[in-house]
Amino acid sequence: MTTQTSVAVRPLEIDRSHSEVAFQVRHLLSRVRGRFADFSGTIRFDSARPENSHVKVVVKAASIDTAEPDRDKHLRSADFFDVEKFPTLAFKSTAVAPRSDNRYDVVGDLTIHGVTRQVTLPASFLGSMQDPWGNEKFGFEAELALNRKDFGLLWNAALETGGFLVGDEVKVMLSVQAK
C-alpha cells in the first residue's frame, strides 16, 4: 500500500506499543541513551489546515529507563526528575505551522520538573497506512535539543580534570504511531 499525505481531521491516540520517547545526553566521553516507557497522548492532525492541529503528550517520569538500574534510581531522585514531587512530563501544543511538505513546527508548552517553557518541536508527518487488520495508522517523528538546566535539572559533578560529568544538552527523539 502507498502512503497517503492527505489526512482527515480526527482524534488519534498514540499507540505506545509502536512508539518511542527517547533521549541522549553526554556522560564523560560518550552519550547515554534512554527512554520513557510509560506515556500517552492524543494528536488531532489536519493536513489541509495545520493551524487546526493539536498535540498533547504526558510522560510518567518514573518510567525512565537507561538500562542501568542504579542510574535510573538516581534520575528518579530529587537530584534530577524528583518523580515523587513531579510525576509527569507534559507537552501541549499551542500552534502548528507548516515548514515544507509534511514538515511542521509544533509550538507548545513543555513541562519538566515543574518548569514550563515554550518550545518549538520540528515534526514530520510520515504518512498513513492500513495495518494487516484494516486499522489505519499514522506516523510522526520529531527531534529537538533542550538544555536540561532550563527545566531545573541542575545536578552535576565537577571532574578533577576539568569539565562536568553530565552534559547540559539533551537530545529528545520521538517516533510516534497513532491510531
Position 155 in a domain: yes
Instruction: Name residue 170's amino acid.
Output: V
In a domain? residue 83: yes
Domain count, the chain: 1
Q: How far is CA 44 from the centre of its chain?
A: 17
The answer as to whether 162 is a domain residue is: yes
Q: pTM value?
A: 0.89
Asked, for residue 19, whether it belongs to a domain, the answer is yes
Please indicate, yes or no, if residue 110 is contained in any of the structural domains. Answer: yes
- Distance (Å, whole) CA 28 – CA 10: 45
Q: Is residue 5 a part of any domain in this protein? A: no
What range defines the domain where residue 21 resides? 11-178
Euclidean distance between CA atoms 176 and 14, whole angstroms:
7
Per-residue pLDDT of the chain (179 residues; tens, 9 = 90+): 444 445 557 789 999 999 999 999 887 667 999 999 999 999 999 988 989 999 999 999 999 999 999 999 999 999 999 999 999 999 999 999 999 889 999 999 999 999 999 999 999 999 999 999 999 999 999 999 999 999 998 877 777 776 677 888 899 999 999 99
In a domain, 4, yes or no: no
31, 25 in Cβ contact below 8 A?
yes
CATH value at residue 25: 2.40.128.110
In a domain, 117, yes or no: yes
